[in-house]
Chains A and B, each alone.
Chain A
Amino acid sequence: MSNLLALSGVNTRIGHYHILQGVDFVVPQGGFTMLLGRNGAGKTTCLRTIMGLWKASAGRIDFDGADIAGRSTPAVAQLGIGYVPESMGIFAGLTVRENLTLAARDGPIDEKRLDWMFGLFPALKKFWHLPAGHLSGGQKQMLAIARAMIEPRKLLLVDEPTKGLAPAIIAHMVEAFRELKRTDTTILLVEQNFNFARSLGDTVAVMDSGRIVHSGNMGELAGNEALQYRLLGLSLDAHQ
């Protein structure tokens, strides 16, 4: 399987802080890659650096055969990368319909894709004309994901989609991602909930202190409790 995204030696500095200290990992085409790690390991910075929201001070970010490090955020998005930030970043004053219409940059929303989306997230159909700020936390997260998927994207970056959500909503989210997986969308997902990550991931990369400390198949990590404990420590306990 070829790699859609490859980071090599990526460094990111925010002010005086050296957050990413030579990150190397790959995201295979059509796969579901989980980026795991403790709080403050640099996972979110990694996604934001890929999106151009933070500029990489060194290293390469190869996406679909081109180095995108240093490109502006809109330019990165226009290459076909969808981003669901941790804060969801929905436009609270706009309706659900307007949020999705905005995300469909290339013209009107494709009806078939919209129906498919409504199948995944029925609440969005129900609250189609409601300002997004009035949705519940789970519904906002669904909208944020739907917005990144409303047009086919080559790569989807998702930052902690389960954060602060009730178990029932997380189960629904797992189903939605499984459905998405069937469409062969390549996904890089940052997560602290290992059970969630294990149920979806094909490959995994684990970060610690701004570096990748492990990468490989998810099955390998899922079957090795000692490795899990060593790499993920308390964050694993907290979510089991």
Chain B
Amino acid sequence: MTRRLLSGDYPRSRMLATLLLLILAGLAFAPFAFPGTRSLDVAAKVCVFILLVASYDLLLGYTGIVSFAHTMFFGIGAYGIAIAATRLGPTWGSLVLGSLVALACSALLSLLIGMLSLRVKTIFFAMITLAVASFFAILASQLSGFTGGEDGLTYKLPQLLLPGTKLLEAPLFGVEINGRIVSYYIVFFTAAALFLALLRVVNSPFGRVLQAIRENDFRAEAIGYRSVIYRSVANCVAALAASAAGILYALWLRYAGPDTTLSFDIMIDILLMVVIGGMGTMYGAVVGATLFVIAQTYLQDLMKLASDAAAGIPLLPDLVHPDRWLLWLGILFILSVYRFPAGIVGKLRGRQ
């Protein structure tokens, strides 16, 4: 059962397996173990980013494609839900329609980008994706009548997913079971299922060909594999998964805007998460996204505690002042990349 679920790709490190189980348990029981709006927001964001980062790992880690258009596909998913819910009303039908249109757009656009530009060298492909993604972001902010422009779109969801909807009369383990909990579990189970599907893809014969192309595309061609076709399909699968992550994020936030889905900052975050977790491992997406999102959310709180505790000591309170959280986040990332050049998963697996 476990073998089939993980497609035979075990963590191959006791410490990594423990870490993954802890993350899985933490996310599965988040509404009960960490009650509160903020912690549930963090857990949902972790689920969405695990899927988003895993889909980027399929591109960067397994196929060797550097793309800056990943947030564009993430945004297409989010805007698909947002536009459908705004225009057609908060019904399940509009959500399904919005999702399907978004996925179809992503598939078409990614195949088009892939077939037209994956023949060029890595750096040129990266530049093309950067240009397309920038164009799309500008388009989203300019078409304000359709996309809400810089303000984005805020919309309602079907009754079942609203915070005011109570599913049980009495609280369960002290937590009120409402539409927010239903939304969270939709995000959690969909992200988990799609992550396992991506794990299946990279461990399939198709995934092996992608790794062969990443290592030596001429040699893969000499064996008889058309690298452009394989790269384009990988690009399309990754785009679909990124769009699915966007759909989940839009379901959770009930808002879609350029800053939450299309910004270049998110692209940089994804790259950092892949590198910190470990490229070409899939499990690196789980570890990288969890650590990054938690650090991004709670570092300021931790620093406030440290700053208060160090009151009276010269210089130290200023150094760990919450306003300097980005500086410390940066230092933490530099240290982690220096300490774990193959990523955390690579390092843990290397120990075995």
Chain A residues engaging chain B, CB cutoff 8 angstroms:
51, 53, 72-74, 77-78, 83, 85, 89-94, 98, 101-103, 105, 147
Across the interface, do A77 and B222 meet the contact criterion of CB distance under 8 Å? yes
> Which A-chain residue is minimally distant from B229 (CB atoms)?
A74
- Chain B residues with CB under 8 Å of A94's CB are 208, 211-212, 215
- Chain A residues with CB under 8 Å of B215's CB are 91-94
Q: Is B226 an interface residue (CB 8 A)?
A: yes
Q: Is B12 an interface residue (CB 8 A)?
A: no
Looking at B220, B222, B225, B226, the one whose CB has the most chain A CB atoms below 10 A away is B222
* B182-240 interface (Cβ within 8 A of A): 205, 208-209, 211-212, 215-216, 218-226
- Chain B residues with CB under 8 Å of A83's CB are 222
- Chain B residues with CB under 8 Å of A72's CB are 221, 226
Q: How far is the CA of A91 from the CA of B205 in the complex (A)?
A: 14
CB distance from B208 to the nearest CB of A (A): 5
Chain B interface, number of residues (Cβ within 8 angstroms)? 17
Q: How far is the CA of A172 from the CA of B211 in the complex (A)?
A: 31
Across the interface, do B208 and A74 meet the contact criterion of CB distance under 8 Å? no
Interface of B is mostly: helix
CB distance from B64 to the nearest CB of A (A): 11
CB distance from B12 to the nearest CB of A (A): 12
Could you write out 26 A-B pairs with CB less than 8 Å apart?
A51-B222, A53-B222, A72-B221, A73-B218, A77-B222, A77-B223, A78-B224, A83-B222, A85-B219, A90-B219, A91-B215, A91-B216, A92-B215, A93-B280, A94-B208, A94-B211, A94-B215, A98-B208, A101-B205, A101-B208, A102-B208, A102-B220, A102-B223, A102-B225, A105-B224, A147-B223
- Chain A residues with CB under 8 Å of B208's CB are 94, 98, 101-102
- Chain A residues with CB under 8 Å of B219's CB are 85, 89-91
> Knowing A74-B224, A74-B226, A78-B224 touch, does A89 contact B218 (C-beta < 8 A)?
yes
> Which A-chain residue is minimally distant from B216 (CB atoms)?
A89
CB distance from A159 to the nearest CB of B (A): 11
Q: How far is the CA of A98 from the CA of B205 in the complex (A)?
A: 9
- Chain A residues with CB under 8 Å of B218's CB are 53, 73, 89
- Chain A residues with CB under 8 Å of B221's CB are 53, 72-74, 77
Chain B, residues 153-174, CB within 8 Å of chain A (1/0): the string is 0000000000000000000000
- Chain A residues with CB under 8 Å of B216's CB are 89, 91
Across the interface, do A93 and B222 meet the contact criterion of CB distance under 8 Å? no
Across the interface, do A77 and B205 meet the contact criterion of CB distance under 8 Å? no
Across the interface, do B226 and A102 meet the contact criterion of CB distance under 8 Å? no
* B290-328 interface (Cβ within 8 A of A): none
> Which A-chain residue is minimally distant from B212 (CB atoms)?
A91
Q: How far is the CA of A53 from the CA of B219 in the complex (A)?
A: 10
* B258-310 interface (Cβ within 8 A of A): 280
Q: How far is the CA of A72 from the CA of B221 in the complex (A)?
A: 9
- Chain A residues with CB under 8 Å of B280's CB are 93
> Which A-chain residue is minimally distant from B215 (CB atoms)?
A91
- Chain A residues with CB under 8 Å of B222's CB are 51, 53, 73, 77, 83, 85, 89
Task: Give 6 A-B pairs besides A74-B226, A91-B215 with Cβ atoms closer than 8 angstroms.
Answer: A73-B221, A77-B223, A85-B222, A93-B215, A105-B224, A105-B225
The 10 closest A-B pairs by CB, nearest first: A77-B224, A89-B219, A73-B221, A83-B222, A91-B215, A74-B226, A78-B224, A91-B212, A74-B224, A105-B224
CB distance from B229 to the nearest CB of A (A): 9
> Which A-chain residue is minimally distant from B227 (CB atoms)?
A74
CB distance from A222 to the nearest CB of B (A): 31
- Chain B residues with CB under 8 Å of A103's CB are 223
Q: How far is the CA of A11 from the CA of B211 in the complex (A)?
A: 34
Q: How far is the CA of A152 from the CA of B219 in the complex (A)?
A: 18
- Chain A residues with CB under 8 Å of B223's CB are 77, 102-103, 105, 147
Looking at A72, A77, A83, A91, the one whose CB has the most chain B CB atoms below 10 A away is A91
- Chain B residues with CB under 8 Å of A89's CB are 216, 218-219, 222
CB distance from B272 to the nearest CB of A (A): 23
Q: Which of A53, A90, A91 contacts B211 (CB 8 A)?
A: A91
Across the interface, do A93 and B226 meet the contact criterion of CB distance under 8 Å? no
CB distance from A106 to the nearest CB of B (A): 10
Q: How far is the CA of A91 from the CA of B216 in the complex (A)?
A: 7
- Chain A residues with CB under 8 Å of B211's CB are 91, 93-94
- Chain B residues with CB under 8 Å of A101's CB are 205, 208
CB distance from A226 to the nearest CB of B (A): 38
- Chain B residues with CB under 8 Å of A91's CB are 211-212, 215-216, 219
- Chain B residues with CB under 8 Å of A93's CB are 211, 215, 280
CB distance from B210 to the nearest CB of A (A): 11
Q: How far is the CA of A21 from the CA of B166 in the complex (A)?
A: 82
CB distance from B142 to the nearest CB of A (A): 41
Q: How far is the CA of A51 from the CA of B219 in the complex (A)?
A: 11
CB distance from A185 to the nearest CB of B (A): 17
- Chain B residues with CB under 8 Å of A92's CB are 215
- Chain B residues with CB under 8 Å of A147's CB are 223
- Chain B residues with CB under 8 Å of A77's CB are 221-224
- Chain A residues with CB under 8 Å of B226's CB are 72, 74
Q: How far is the CA of A103 from the CA of B224 in the complex (A)?
A: 8
Q: How far is the CA of A78 from the CA of B220 in the complex (A)?
A: 12
CB distance from A98 to the nearest CB of B (A): 5
